[in-house]
Structure 1
Amino acid sequence: MYSRSGRYQSICFTSGCSNTRLDLVFVLDASTSVTEPNFKLMLDFLKDFLQVANIDGGNVRVGVVIYSTEVHMQFQMNQYRTKQQVFDAIDNIPYRFGSTNTADGLRTMHEEMFTRQNGDRPNVDNICILVTDGVSNINSRRTVPEAVAARNKNIHLYVIGIGLTDTREVDQIATPPVEENRFIVQEFDELRALRDKVFSSLYNKNCLVYYLLYFFVAPDPIPITLPPPKEIGSCSNTRLDLVFVLDASTSVTEPNFKLMLDFLKDFLQVANIDGGNVRVGVVIYSTEVHMQFQMNQYRTKQQVFDAIDNIPYRYGSTNTADGLRTMHEEMFTRKNGDRPNVDNICILVTDGVSNINSRRTVPEAVAARNKNIHLYVIGIGLTDTREVDQIATPPIEENRFIVQEFDELRALRDKVFSSLCISPDPTPIPITRPPPKESRTSPPTLPPPTTSK
């Protein structure tokens, strides 16, 4: 029923998620208005959310506090070391109805839970996720000041509001900007749809995962789809054989080709290359095709990055057909590093319609797709998208991306990147998002990176 990620989230290829270290506290509203069945849905959301967290490996620590009239600490971040222990503890959290004392819930979180004694680690990001269905009605004057006090301690506050008609309080609780850190659903049973929207923002915080914003700034509700849960435990377990096909034709120009190469390195920052889960190859084309390196040629990220830095610009015409043919006939082969039972992914980056062998371009793409190679296409400055629409694996809304300038490529990284862990399901549902900041036709503007505490 629910989308765990939105249209472009089919690539949560966040191999870097496994390397992200987080100290994470959930603050849950258990007031009477929540009701016991909905509180159970809230607990299910916690477990669903944490399915892909690396708890057993020690990267993610989790604590939970609930509040109504009083505050009830459930467990500290250093109390449990395995995911199963955390899940068992969540299952044992009781519903304690009462008033809505959000202020003391927040105070307990930042004063008693984010402490060295209770598991808070130096140089690890502190994250709090508050889930509430109403405006505080006890100590309400202290609610926002307690949130500010937490943020002043470098605790990043996400807020999920359920069924709220008045969002002023939660807007002031969440870390600014609210468009990135405050999420609204209408019913408790919509919580699951938020999991990866929040999770990707949170776990990829250091990797600047701004494709999230693309969903939340959308001006109207749009249909999104829920893929079935994947038993992967962590995106870091995703194994991919990945080939980039780069347009080096004259229209690209050498400075823009350099931006294209920077995009490759930026994209691969969070790929688990050294651990062997992700293999990478690159081919470029203009009039001719020039193989740069095969998927089994380099074993470390630094080797791959050095090879990308040495890729020359070879201007000429736009022979996309032979670029695609070389990719599926010569690169996705066992001899050159293609592995059985590992997803084959091709990302084509181009700025124009092919003008050599153009009648073969779409057939070569179809031939690649028939070999179970998933084709993503990034088109730059295109006014005519008909060819790239036919190259990309259907549906094009998930697999074809358009930017107007080469320097916008970085904003696309995680929009594309996030779609690799999750495959779409055909049943769409509408999800309402907060009011728009930007047009949905362009990618979000990247804010400056946040720093660890």
Structure 2
Amino acid sequence: MGHSKRLQIQIQRRTSLKSCADIYFLIDGSGSIYPNDFQDMKVFMNEMISMFQVSANGVRFGVVQYESIPQTEFTISQYNSVKQLKEAVRVIQQLGGGTNTGDALRYMKSLFVKAARDSVPKLLIVITDGESQDQVTKAAEELRQEGIIIYAIGVKNAVKKELKDIAGTEDRMFFVNDFDSLKLIKHDIVQDILNSTWMSCKNMKADIILLVDSSESIHPVDFQKMKDFMQLIVNRSDIGSDKVQIGLLQFSSEPQEEFQLNQYGSKADLRKAISGIRPIKSGTMTGKALTFASSYFDEPKGGRSRVKQYLIVITDGEAQDIVREPAETIREKGITIYAIGVLHANNSQLVEIAGSQDRVFFEDNFDSLTFLEKEILFEICNLEDCK
């Protein structure tokens, strides 16, 4: 799968989640911007807005336009649907005038404070076409100290050093030669926003069991790549008896316990245990393995009834038995199943296991697993509604 295609799929999957953020656009409406360029900027904002799940409790957008003085076009609490937001952006009229970006940045501080939601990421996307007529560094720094993530987009005559001062890092600084090219950086910015607002599962409590296929069709090199993927899941999780617990089962013709959920309470111990597993190398009895896995979420085997529980199944081939019923039994217990299929896995069976295509990941090869660890954990971290 190509990088750009994968990026689009990641963005579609991530922005369809119950993620939440407060995002303001701060747009330059000074006289140096031609009317058709100002229109391109509005199109760019509407295309970005369309990529998110907008709601009062989800992702919210507001727009401030500035020249010599800033002007609120609409606040983040004003419109709660993509349709309303796009119409509000469409009718924005260009102000004309100077370019006091520093004053505009200072203006943003109170707007974010007024509508703040606890633990919800706050982002500011600044778009300008020229050098500011006042100082930007201190004003931008004060916003970042409030936890606001700033993206600085420069067009035409914007000054790159100033953009870096606004964003605080080159990683969130973007430059294009004309306003029509804004559409070319749209996906990159959204991807970065999604990565920035994902807090690596902090404060999350979950029981995660990995159920991995080690049948004879899996090459030793690929089995190692599967182990590497599991190590990445461990590294990204906040491990502990009152945080994230991880258990591991493998299967072939018969299932086999490697370790229960409460067996290891540290990343180091989990990594060591994963490193030591050896493949079984026989058939692919996935249904039997699912039946076996069900009890591992129960309290006698380390499961916690009051936390969210997840089963991540990885397989490279078609099951030689029935998977629908045992998978349904697990899901009926309130356990969410993710099914990862590689190479010759059967998509219909993967859907039967996960219960929905949304929770199926299909990869062409085992190398692609390295892209997936963030994807799956992002979903797990964002399944709860915004506070």
Match of 2:304 in 1: 339
Q: CA deviation at 1:291?
A: 0.3
Q: CA deviation at 1:31?
A: 3.7
Match of 1:128 in 2: 150
Q: TM-score, normalised by structure 1?
A: 0.56
Q: CA deviation at 1:69?
A: 3.5
Letter in 1 for 2:171: H
Change (3 A) 1:30 1:142: closer
Match of 1:366 in 2: 328
Q: CA deviation at 1:285?
A: 0.6
Equivalent of 2:180 in 167, 173, 180: 167
Q: CA deviation at 1:385?
A: 1.9
In 2, the alpha carbon distance for the partners of 1:106 and 1:414 equals 41
Q: CA deviation at 1:107?
A: 8.0
Q: Is the 8 A contact 1:247 1:351 kept in 2?
A: yes
Give the CA RMSD over aligned residues: 4.4
Aligned-pair identity (%): 19
Q: Is the 8 A contact 1:283 1:289 kept in 2?
A: yes
SS in 2 for 1:420: helix
Deviations, residues 259-314 of structure 1 (Å, cap 9, x unaligned): 10100111232211147321110100112211011111111111111111111122
Q: Is the 8 A contact 2:252 2:281 kept in 1?
A: yes
In 2, the alpha carbon distance for the partners of 1:11 and 1:303 equals 32
Q: Is the 8 A contact 1:9 1:416 kept in 2?
A: no
Letter in 2 for 1:351: D
Q: Is the 8 A contact 1:11 1:416 kept in 2?
A: no
Task: Say yes or no: does 1:421 pair with 2:370.
Answer: no
Task: Say yes or no: does 1:386 pair with 2:352.
Answer: no
Q: Is the 8 A contact 1:243 1:345 kept in 2?
A: yes
Match of 1:143 in 2: 158
Task: Say yes or no: does 1:29 pair with 2:27.
Answer: yes
SS in 2 for 1:325: helix
Change (3 A) 1:417 1:152: closer
Letter in 2 for 1:29: I
Equivalent of 1:402 in 362, 375, 378: 362
Q: Aligned ranges for residues 193-272 of structure 1 at < 5 Å?
A: 198-203=192-197, 235-272=201-238
Consecutive unaligned residues in structure 2, runs of 5 or more: 1-10, 31-37, 43-61, 65-71, 81-96, 118-126
Change (3 A) 1:312 1:87: same
Match of 2:254 in 1: 288
In 1, the alpha carbon distance for the partners of 2:128 and 2:179 equals 17
Letter in 2 for 1:202: S
Consecutive unaligned residues in structure 1, runs of 5 or more: 14-24, 49-66, 92-99, 172-176, 184-196, 208-234, 426-453
In 1, the alpha carbon distance for the partners of 2:157 and 2:345 equals 53
Q: CA deviation at 1:200?
A: 2.2
Give structure 1 regions of 4+ aligned residues with deviation exceeding 6 angstroms.
Answer: 10-13
Q: CA deviation at 1:408?
A: 1.0
Match of 1:225 in 2: none
Q: Is the 8 A contact 1:27 1:130 kept in 2?
A: no
Change (3 A) 1:178 1:31: closer
Match of 1:450 in 2: none
Letter in 2 for 1:348: V
Change (3 A) 1:112 1:424: closer
Q: CA deviation at 1:103?
A: 3.0
Q: CA deviation at 1:337?
A: 1.8
Equivalent of 1:181 in 154, 168, 188: 188
Match of 2:130 in 1: 103
Q: CA deviation at 1:27?
A: 7.4
Q: CA deviation at 1:252?
A: 0.9
Change (3 A) 1:113 1:238: same
In 2, the alpha carbon distance for the partners of 1:375 and 1:89 equals 36
Q: TM-score, normalised by structure 2?
A: 0.65
In 1, the alpha carbon distance for the partners of 2:262 and 2:310 equals 15
In 2, the alpha carbon distance for the partners of 1:375 and 1:386 equals 15
Match of 1:87 in 2: 113
Match of 1:64 in 2: none
Greater relative contact order (CA < 8 Å, ≥ 6 in sequence):
1
Letter in 2 for 1:370: E
Task: Say yes or no: does 1:302 pair with 2:268.
Answer: yes
Q: Is the 8 A contact 2:27 2:63 kept in 1?
A: no
Letter in 2 for 1:142: N
Letter in 1 for 2:301: N
Match of 2:13 in 1: 7
Count of residues paired in the alignment: 308
Task: Say yes or no: does 1:44 pair with 2:76.
Answer: yes
SS in 2 for 1:103: coil
Letter in 2 for 1:156: D
In 2, the alpha carbon distance for the partners of 1:375 and 1:200 equals 23
